[in-house]
Structure 1
Amino acid sequence: MAPVTPVAPVTSVTPVTVVGLDAAGAPPHPALAPALAAAGLVVGAARHLAAVPVPPGATTVALGPLAPAVHRLAAAVADGVPAVVLASGDPGLFGILRRLRAAGLPLRVVPAVSSVAAAFARAGLPWDGAAVVTAHGRDPRPALNACRALPLVAVLTAPGAGAGELGAGLAGWSRRLVVAEHLGTDAERVREVTPEQAAAGTWSDPHVLLSIATADTADTADTADAGPDAARAAGRMRSDNQPAAAPVGGWALPESRYAHRASMITKSEVRALVIARLRPRLGRLVWDIGAGSGSVGIECALLGAAVIAVEQEPGAGETIRANAAAHAVDVRLVVGRAPAALAGLPEPDAVFVGGGGADVLAAVTARRPDRVVLTLAALDRVAPAVGLLRAAGYTVEGSQLSAARLADLPGGSIRLAATNPVVVLTGERP
């Protein structure tokens, strides 16, 4: 006899009904009217409470700090009083649902169209594969770095972390921004702007920002809706619909996967350790200094990080662009000699120093990234580099890597062909 799958026990506890109000302006879900009619407690933002027919006998709680509202809801559940929570769009998308579940409340959820879905719809863009992040109530830098790294990102904004601030942070990246204000209301406005225009503009809250990669960096006037640049950028998205997942093709790729000049490329065995030490991921910004072929920065971008590659040779810069395009990642290229070329760049979370002397390393540590990784072939440079990192307050560890690769011999034999030994140093800020 087949085993019986256990099911959750039936409970008589009345769940809190969480109803999303459509961000696109559509009428409320039919389930809202009977839920409100039976409700003894209705919780929501002031604008939501004003938008629905709250029954005269129901107690209302306008959301400000969330803890008092959660306490009132828990008391209502304990007393068997039906309660309704009004939310924006889909309550499960960076919404109130997470906090209510964390409080252990029994819930019935009726979602509506989210503000993110409404913004993409207003812009006429597909959004499968887009990253959705929030800058609301938290450090906005991870959201900004997601916009720097990925081709299509929706950001739920907040006062002080909106289109103006994100636009200023995207200066130097090839992006178009769609700003959708007051969705679903008479004051709705959707405009496509450049990062510079966003930084200089004044925006109403609440609004949603869409960040869209584009090769066109020319300024355009504000328009009533998203233009053809946005549509073309959306069509160039990665097809695996996993913008921040580990790359399908892996990392620490063979040198043959990159164009490079005279074997001037970080070997795959070394690159594997370097990438592990840099810890690239969505929300982090990595500098690749002395980028050469760009292989280290490109693989950090494949793992979701925003990347700036600094290279003094214009010819190598063209190689980096070609390699980044071949791997379908966005790497910002700065052509110039470090350390001067580092001035004005946004603050990194991790830095790989693949070229340059002590002056470059000193300039990097002065910016105080969390991690600094460098590779050295000359042993006489190891001790000074360790000393410089320690003097800057970093703890240092290092390894010497010496790989030997299989190589065929005539007659079917196999030998080991040694690659040049390299010292990998990692400085970590406590």
Structure 2
Amino acid sequence: MIEFKLPEIGEGVIEGEIVQWLVQPGESFAANDALVEVMTDKATIEIPAPFDGAMQTHRAAEGDVCAVGSVIATLSEGASAPAQASAPAANAPARASAPAANSPASPARTDAAILATPAARALAREHDIDLASLPASERGRITKREVVAAKQQGLSGPAPQVMSAPPPMPTPAPVAVPAGMPTPAARPAAQPAVAAQPVARADASARTDEYLPFRGMRRKIAEGMSRAYSTAVHYTYVEQIDVTKLVALRNQAKRSAAEQGVSLSYLPFIVKAVCHALKRYPIVNAELDEANSRIVLKKRYHVGIAAATDQGLMVPVIKDADLLSLLDVAREIKRLGEGAKTGKLSRDELTGSSFTITSLGTIGGVLATPILNYPEVGILGVHAIRKVPVVTEDDEIAVGHIMNLSVSLDHRIVDGFEGASFLQEVRRYLEDPTLLLLAGI
């Protein structure tokens, strides 16, 4: 047997978390086949097999954090499966036949036993789709993509039970009147007092709580958020921006951009406006080096773009965004976003940002308080653009386009006046995009 150690994953990486074993004990593999998914920082990496062989045992379980160089599995070299793996398989029919004696069919798997992403589970619950009826993706788990496909095909779970109506109340028997007594005037018979009955409900005994593993990307996100929230002193400043001119400029540029194969959104304009504002207020493009009691003012403008994926929130980084053209920024946003969703980005593409932008896209919202991407000292929240009535410079009412921006800052480093001034500078470039043209976007 050969010990399989966690290899060096990247410069400065000392440990990794076992996210998922792709080869189980007893299964064979070929050289360079992916054996295991390992997460470090925010990058998930597949570790390849060094030779043809078979998996003997897992020395580390999914969710374990292992040091680089530690043994995580044992392998056997050669294409055949190990002998001890066949023993459990020989006994499997006997164990499987036991339930058959009591019931004609074995019970179906519950959703909790199916490997699926949190987003897939949530969408399946919303549309009453049985996860057990869906095929897994090529990576061995059910993702949001499979659930959406099932929704479009009209697949759903069993119809909900219909509550039966409560039985009718019995009619009281008439009361006899003795002879010689006057007959009372006709009136409705008094109904006897009836004790309150519980509301009828459908049978919910089959409902069970669902347990999602707290590991991988979700645990990394939680660690980062906890560190940022407990370390930095957050405060948020919000501004409403009239982007009517920006909307007109973007509409004019969309066709030319499409001819060059670029889908031009508003985000590249915001990235460029942020870069100009960071240069004027460098304290927002900074980092606190507590170990050496100093503030580091970054001279390179690496802008992180938060991206929602099936695995959780990731922050791909546009390196030296100030040196790229508007269309190049758009190309990078698209490339990095697609790489984040497929999990194909390198560690370098997910680290090193000096300022982050998080956009809620079409969800919009009025106000949000973004949590800092530690150790950065600033993060910008972008909300949806809405058509609203605005007052023009001629005191006339017209249709305008309004967008809210919210910036969260570390009050240990950035004073309130500096933070507000930074966002006002971003506002200046977005409300008058000719300034971006003059600055050479």
What TM-score range do you get, normalising by the shorter chain? under 0.3
Bigger Rg over Cα: 2
**TM norm structure 1:** 0.25
- Relative contact order (alpha carbons < 8 A, sep ≥ 6): 1 or 2 greater? 2
